[in-house]
Chains A and B, each alone.
Chain A
Amino acid sequence: MLKFIVRRLMQLVLVVFVLSILLFAWLRALPGGVVSAMLGERATPQSRAALTEALGLNDPIPVQYLHFLQRAVQGDFGVSTGVQTGRPALEIFLERFPATIELSVVALVLAISLAIPLGYLSARRSGGVIDNASILGSLVGVAVPVFFLAFLLKYWFAVELGWLPVSGRQSIGNATSVTGFFVLDGILTREWDAVWDSFKHLILPGIALASIPFAMIFRITRASVLDVLDEDFVRTAQAKGLSHRVVRGRHVMRNALLPVVTAVGLQMGLLLSGAVLTETVFNFGGVGSALEEAFRERDYPVLQIIVLVAAIAYVLVNLLVDILYALIDPRVRP
């Protein structure tokens, strides 16, 4: 097991290295860039030239990359040229990260807690009302783009009805930031108003973002439970006269959950792409909206760190899924 983990971690280093090269080259190959973004339409050719020179943008891209790598191994991932000019990109990332984690956790918990029971119920009463309604719901979840759903939710529940905040993470003046996880911060400082306020800000984006993993987890749970229900060992267990609870818990769910775990893991990786859109619609100050802002302003250092860390997180989550998988099902243990 340990050998397996070490091997995977070494793969991770390779993946990140290759990705960083591709990313660096791709960003620099994009038309336009930081010079226009910083100077705007007033820029004279002289000032463009001076800025290009000062930022080392005249060097060949491989040379620029080597400089980047040299600094990166020392923990310097560059400073923002857009989102918050002059601040280290890593600092900006770390500051925005809790928001995205908070949002993703809400979305994932929401999705899992709805999708797994519904998937199970749908399978048990396949063809019934719950089943049909849930399938329809999951189809909507897959088919409707997350930003559109986000926009609709915002329009109805925040703008028209005024039940929930339109955007942001907290009402102004409500924050005492400790960890950057606002709900947790509120609990730590015992500011219950702030907890509730932060939670309210999470509801709509949380639902919008949950629509992606919900649909996938529901369908996989349903299919998987259907498969397992058909298995001989379930019939045997039932024939032995075991209670429904035992059959359901020990026999059906335990076996049916295996593919679901994988699906959840994969969905966690996909959450970031959903978060870019959801956070942008709700002006939720996380990594997703930072990514969008950085792209608009051609803020390369911030773009780089976000994409790289997202990639690392994705690989790590997958590793975690594999370990979890092995724990649930001894047969796949390496």
Chain B
Amino acid sequence: MSMRKSAPLAAAAAVALTLSACAESERDGSGGSGGEGGGTFTFGAAGAPEVFDPFYATDGETFRITRQIFEGLVEVKPGSAELGPGLATEWEPSEDGKDWTFTLREGVQFSDGEPLNAEAVCANFERMANQNEAAQSGPAEYWAYSTGGFGEDSLYDGCEVEDEQTVVISVKRATSKFPALLSLSSFAMQSPKALEEGNANNVKTQGQGFVYPENSKNPVGSGPYLFEEYDEANKTVTLVRNDDYWGEKAKTEKIVFKIIPDESTRRQELEAGSIDGYDLPNPVDWQGLEEAGNKVEIRDPFNILYLGLNPESNPKLKDVKVRQAINYAIDRESLVSSQLPEGASAASQFMPEAVKGYNSDLEPYPHDVDKAKELLKEAGAENLTLQFAYPSQVSRPYMPNPQKIHEAIANNLEAAGITVKATTKPWNGGYLDNVDAGQYDAWLLGWTGDYDSADNFVGTFFGNASANDFGTVEAGYGEQLAEELAEADGTVDEEERAAKYEELNKKIAEEYVPGAPISHSPPAIVVSEDVEGLVTSPLTAEHFDTVTVGGE
């Protein structure tokens, strides 16, 4: 035994390092080091993709990948939340807002050579609208949620081929979300031939899960990248440039998504140079990442964090004065400056500024403890006790650290004389279930918008009078609010519609007060200093085809 005077662990480490030191020069830093023909962009993904058929996906990690492969009729303009041309260059509604005529882009082919024409578009919509029972129960969640469901329940009314490049999609009623919802990754256009050959709609339940057809493993779209491989053992997804792309070709030859669930490991991989970027770096890391030479790109906030209140679980909350008092009690400004990342702002309403219908005249409730106490007294709720919940084991773009945000708000409430009973559950371990089941008096939750539509915010929260987390019916205004929301949503004229939403936002903030809008937080994305050309999206829906790595 030649190793003397050394602790065995150190010895083991020494052996390993001697072995590895000679290989130092071989360290290949697989990402970033652009090879021939444009190099590779390696991105650290926080989770594995669910399925490669975006129609059945519900998670951002899947969409991040499919977004590079597929395109929608309507796309979001790079760098903003505004709608812009996609596979359709323009669109026009009928007078009643129910029939939408889309003019398709000329010369677009899917990567299997199939043309993108009106027929292909209709084939896609008919496919989406006609899901089997298994798919309707869960996998086709985005369609169910965005259009209201299937058959009679669905917003979708039909698709008609007008000519080769013109297609008319009909909806049952005018709504602010059409055609905005077409920009969702789920509703991107797929090659009809691939859909058919891959038996795309054949979702089955097996045991306590779903099995997806062949199509979900072989995505065929029209986008700037092609799917190459999902190496499950190595946890990487590789895309390669689509050299037949109709538009400007992608700058890098390859994109590799390296699946790294642990956030600190993603950060270390970036520091070690083995990935070129990752999404949603923890705000506490922003400064360190920048000091190390990386670029932390802060997006415009497109989200809302709110405190929900539930009069069903605590009848004292039925009194609007109590709900207003809670709003006055919260010190949003100090919460924003102490707990939220740079660029965050206090919220005055349940939607961010970028959404049409935002009321810029509204101010966030001022922090006024005396006013809060006075209102509580008027309502006879001086001894109010609130069971106030926050989620654990989660970090959301609108809520980087739920526990700290909860602590700050709970302190505010207590300062106004409210007794707070704090409670928590893991995000997937009962929190969402309990909120849904109305088990908390007050709770923290939020939302990142899918597209630029007021309905996607306030409509999502309060549009369903009979079933929403805020117990709006119990509080006495639920039906009315739902009707008003539906009316605003169905207004065809855009300006008129925006005005209605603005008015509604004021009413929600001052008269209905279903909860307390708290803040909007800007999510960030970080890339190494070698990366150029990344255009960030407030919807966190970046396209990577403009990215270059190391000047390649």
Do A47 and B138 contact each other (CB < 8 Å), given the known contacts A78-B207, A130-B4? Answer: yes
Shortest CB-to-CB span from B184 to chain A, Å, is: 12
Whether A171 and B9, one on each chain, are in contact in the complex, defined by CB atoms closer than 8 angstroms, is no
**Residues of chain B lying within 8 A (CB to CB) of residue A115:** 8
Q: Does A48 contact B (CB under 8 A)?
A: yes
Whether A172 and B236, one on each chain, are in contact in the complex, defined by CB atoms closer than 8 angstroms, is yes
Chain B interface secondary structure, helix, strand, loop or mixed? mixed
Q: Does B216 contact A (CB under 8 A)?
A: yes
Do A167 and B58 contact each other (CB < 8 Å), given the known contacts A83-B48, A137-B8? Answer: no
Whether B137 and A76, one on each chain, are in contact in the complex, defined by CB atoms closer than 8 angstroms, is no
Shortest CB-to-CB span from B503 to chain A, Å, is: 26
Whether A50 and B8, one on each chain, are in contact in the complex, defined by CB atoms closer than 8 angstroms, is no
Q: Does B287 contact A (CB under 8 A)?
A: no
C-alpha gap A165/B271 in the complex (Å) = 11
Which residues of B from 157 to 181 have beta carbons under 8 Å from A?
none
Partner of A30, one of B26, B138, B274, B429: B429
Which residues of A from 43 to 68 have beta carbons under 8 Å from B?
43-48, 50-51, 53-57, 64, 67-68
Place the interface of chain B in its size category. 35 or more
Partner of A165, one of B134, B141, B274, B428: B274
Whether B269 and A166, one on each chain, are in contact in the complex, defined by CB atoms closer than 8 angstroms, is yes
Whether A163 and B272, one on each chain, are in contact in the complex, defined by CB atoms closer than 8 angstroms, is no
Shortest CB-to-CB span from B255 to chain A, Å, is: 11
C-alpha gap A315/B272 in the complex (Å) = 41
Do A38 and B58 contact each other (CB < 8 Å), given the known contacts A43-B432, A172-B258? Answer: yes
**Residues of chain B lying within 8 A (CB to CB) of residue A53:** 137
Whether B48 and A46, one on each chain, are in contact in the complex, defined by CB atoms closer than 8 angstroms, is no
Whether B432 and A211, one on each chain, are in contact in the complex, defined by CB atoms closer than 8 angstroms, is no
Place the interface of chain A in its size category. 35 or more
Q: Does A283 contact B (CB under 8 A)?
A: yes
C-alpha gap A68/B447 in the complex (Å) = 36
C-alpha gap A83/B261 in the complex (Å) = 11
The 8 A CB mask of B255-287 against A (1 = contact, 0 = none) is: 010111110010011011010000000000000
Q: Does B234 contact A (CB under 8 A)?
A: yes
**Residues of chain A lying within 8 A (CB to CB) of residue B208:** 34, 55-57, 64, 68, 78, 81, 300-301
Contact residues of A with B, CB < 8 Å?
30-48, 50-51, 53-57, 64, 67-68, 71, 76, 78-81, 83-86, 92, 95-96, 98-99, 110, 114-115, 117-118, 121, 129-130, 133-134, 136-138, 140-141, 153-155, 157-159, 162-175, 177, 180, 193, 196, 200, 203-204, 206-207, 210-211, 214, 218, 280-283, 285, 289, 292-293, 296-298, 300-301
Can you report 20 residue pairs joining A to B where beta carbons are below 8 Å apart? A32-B425, A32-B428, A34-B208, A36-B428, A36-B431, A39-B141, A48-B436, A81-B208, A86-B216, A114-B8, A121-B1, A129-B4, A137-B10, A157-B20, A170-B234, A172-B42, A175-B234, A210-B12, A283-B259, A283-B261
